[in-house]
Amino acid sequence: MATAKTAARGRKTKTPEAGQSKTAEKVSVGQESPGDERKFVEYPGVLGTMKSEQGDFYRVRGWAPTEKESLREAGGLKGTLEINNPDTGQRQKYPMELRPREHQGQHYFSAKVDRGPEQNPILVRLVGVDGPNGRFGAVRLAEMEQRGDRMQFQDVKGQGGILRMNEAMTQKVLDKDGNLYEPERIQEVLGVSAAALAPSQHREAIQEMLERQDALEQQVDKHPDIATEPDRGQETDRSMPEIEPEVEEEEDLGLGR
């Protein structure tokens, strides 16, 4: 597998390719009484949150499969799609498998989320986007509707959608010098570095770590006898906590495909 140094070049995505579906499940959100105290443990992962033009929040989360899962061998990510309507308090949560795809030379992760017979499926994609400050990861969503013999895609538009590592994963990347499954796979498929995935307050530290890695790799190229096998540490395949949606305000992507 390539190191975090490896980068794909100049890829943009247009026509989506449906990923494999998983059985959907709905989750109802209960009301907390004033005396309830709920403590969440943040497990490492990547996430992107979007607020649609209709006011719904969409949160995509991803983390590493276990070593024994076939999805790991395929280079994919486990994840969930959550849809939250703040007006009604209704929240829907669906498991998914994000698999690496290629369409007309463009690479991305995708999953088709089946929401049951009464709602159209949603295509979830993680893509790489070339911005004015470099390449970054983004979430793209589209509602799928079968019309005759053709599948139609209606983009979910709104604000947000930038893909970021959460705090737990950021700290783990720093502890392990970037040798983690998730950022490596995103680097390889999307061409997005760990620094671009990091929250803004940690971006400089991640970039310095990557530069140290580059310098070490150059030394290894000159002196192969000092090469060592990277320690990937613990896997991050545990479910992520339930937390309120937040929209990334750093950039409004428009959320078109």
Query: Three-class SS of residue 59?
Result: strand
CB-based contact 100:189 (threshold 8 Å): yes
Helices 181-190 + 167-175 axis angle, to 10: 100
Cα–chain-centroid distance for residue 244?
17
The beta strands (E) that lie in 116-231 are given as 122-131, 134-147, 150-155, 158-160, 164-165
**pLDDT tens digit string along 205-236?**
988 888 887 787 777 777 666 555 554 444 44
Q: Is residue 191 scored above 90 in pLDDT?
A: yes
User: In Å, what is the CA distance from 46 to each residue of 199, 207, 244?
Assistant: 11, 18, 15
Separation CA 237–CA 77 (nearest Å): 9
Q: Is residue 164 scored above 80 in pLDDT?
A: yes
CB-based contact 232:181 (threshold 8 Å): yes
Q: Which residues contact 82 (CB under 8 A, 6 or more apart)?
A: 57, 58, 59, 61, 91, 92, 93, 94, 245
**pTM across the whole model:** 0.71
Buried b (16+ CB within 10 A) or exposed e, 44-63: bbbbbbbbbeeebbbbbbbb
pLDDT at 198: 93
Which residue carries 């999805």 as its tokens?
71
Beta-bridge partner residues of 21: 112
Q: How would residue 165 be classed by pLDDT, with cut points 50, 70 and 90?
A: very high
Separation CA 205–CA 218 (nearest Å): 20
> What average pLDDT does this structure show over 26-35?
40
What's the Rg (C-alpha) of the chain?
Answer: 19
Domains defined for the chain, CATH in brackets: 21-25+41-165 (2.40.128), 167-226 (no CATH)
Q: How would residue 29 be classed by pLDDT, with cut points 50, 70 and 90?
A: very low
Q: Is residue 200 scored above 70 in pLDDT?
A: yes
**pLDDT tens digit string along 77-123?**
999 999 999 888 899 999 999 999 999 999 999 999 999 998 999 99
pLDDT at 216: 77
Please give the backbone phi and psi of residue 207, each rounded to the nearest 5 degrees, phi first: -65, -40
Cα–chain-centroid distance for residue 141?
12
* Mean pLDDT score across all residues of the chain: 79
